[in-house]
Structure 1
Amino acid sequence: MNENSVLLRKIADNVEKVIVGKRNAIELTLIALISNGHILLEDVPGVGKTSLVSALAKSISASFSRIQFTPDVLPSDITGFSIYNQKKGEFEYRPGSAMCQILLADEINRTSPKTQSSLLEIMEEKQVTVDGTTYKLPKPFMVLATQNPIDYIGTYPLPEAQMDRFFLKISLGYPEAGEEAYILTRFLQDNPLETLKPVADSSDIINMQNEVKQVHIDNTLKSYVVEIVNLTRRNDFIALGSSPRGSLAVCRAAQAWAYYNGRDHVLPEDIKKMLLPTLCHRILLKQEAKLKKMSAIDILTSIIEKVYIPLVEKV
Structure 2
Amino acid sequence: MIKRPVFPFTALVGQEEMKLALILNVIDPGIGGVLIRGEKGTGKSTVVRALADILPEIEVVEGCPFSCDPEDLQGLCPHCRERLEQEGQLPRTRRKVRVVELPLSATEDRLVGSLDLEAALTRGERRFEPGLLAAAHRGFLYVDEVNLLPDHLVDTLLDVAAMGVNFVEREGVSFAHAARFVLVGTMNPEEGDLRPQLLDRFGLCVTVEGLKDPRARVLIMERWEEFTRDPERFTERFRPETEALVSRIVAARERISEVEIPEEMLYAIAKKTISLGVDGHRADLTMARTARAHAAFQGRTRVTEEDLRVAERLALPHRLRRQPFDELA
Asked if Structure 1 and Structure 2 have the same fold, meaning a TM-score greater than 0.5 normalized by the shorter chain, the answer is: yes
Q: How does the TM-score come out when normalised to structure 1?
A: 0.73
1:22 aligns with 15
Do 2:17 and 2:206's aligned partners in 1 also have CA atoms closer than 8 Å?
Answer: no
Q: CA deviation at 1:208?
A: 4.1
| 1:76 matched to 2:109 | yes
Point out the more displaced range, 75-84 or 102-111.
75-84
1:219 aligns with 263
1:307 aligns with none
What residue identity is the alignment partner of 1:117? D
Write out per-residue CA displacement over residues 216-256 of structure 1, whole angstroms, 9 at most, x where no aligned residue: 111111111111111122xxxxxxx2421111111211111
1:162 aligns with 198
List 4+ stretches of structure 1 deviating above 6 A: 202-207
Write out per-residue CA displacement over residues 48-74 of structure 1, whole angstroms, 9 at most, x where no aligned residue: 0010111111111312211232xx432
Following superposition of structure 1 onto structure 2, how do residues 1-315 of structure 1 map, counting pairs within 5 Å?
14-17=8-11, 19-36=12-29, 37=31, 38-60=33-55, 61-69=96-104, 72-83=105-116, 90-99=125-134, 100=136, 101-131=139-169, 132-137=174-179, 141-152=181-192, 157-175=193-211, 176-191=213-228, 199=243, 208-209=252-253, 211-233=255-277, 241-285=278-322, 296=323
1:288 aligns with none
Q: CA deviation at 1:32?
A: 2.3
- Relative to structure 1, the CA distance from residue 206 to residue 182 in structure 2 (aligned partners, 3 Å threshold; closer, same or farther) is closer
- Relative to structure 1, the CA distance from residue 79 to residue 114 in structure 2 (aligned partners, 3 Å threshold; closer, same or farther) is same
Do 1:16 and 1:23's aligned partners in 2 also have CA atoms closer than 8 Å?
Answer: no
| Cα separation, 2, equivalents of 1:51 and 1:30 | 14
- Relative to structure 1, the CA distance from residue 207 to residue 188 in structure 2 (aligned partners, 3 Å threshold; closer, same or farther) is closer
What residue identity is the alignment partner of 2:225? L
Do 1:168 and 1:277's aligned partners in 2 also have CA atoms closer than 8 Å?
Answer: yes
Do 1:276 and 1:297's aligned partners in 2 also have CA atoms closer than 8 Å?
Answer: no
Unaligned runs of at least 5 residues, structure 1: 1-12, 234-240, 286-295, 303-315
1:16 aligns to what SS in structure 2?
A: helix
Q: How does the TM-score come out when normalised to structure 2?
A: 0.70
What residue identity is the alignment partner of 1:119? L
What residue identity is the alignment partner of 1:166? F
Unaligned runs of at least 5 residues, structure 2: 1-6, 56-95
Quote the sequence identity (%).
20
Q: CA deviation at 1:23?
A: 2.9
Do 2:114 and 2:131's aligned partners in 1 also have CA atoms closer than 8 Å?
Answer: yes
- Relative to structure 1, the CA distance from residue 74 to residue 63 in structure 2 (aligned partners, 3 Å threshold; closer, same or farther) is same
Q: CA deviation at 1:165?
A: 2.0
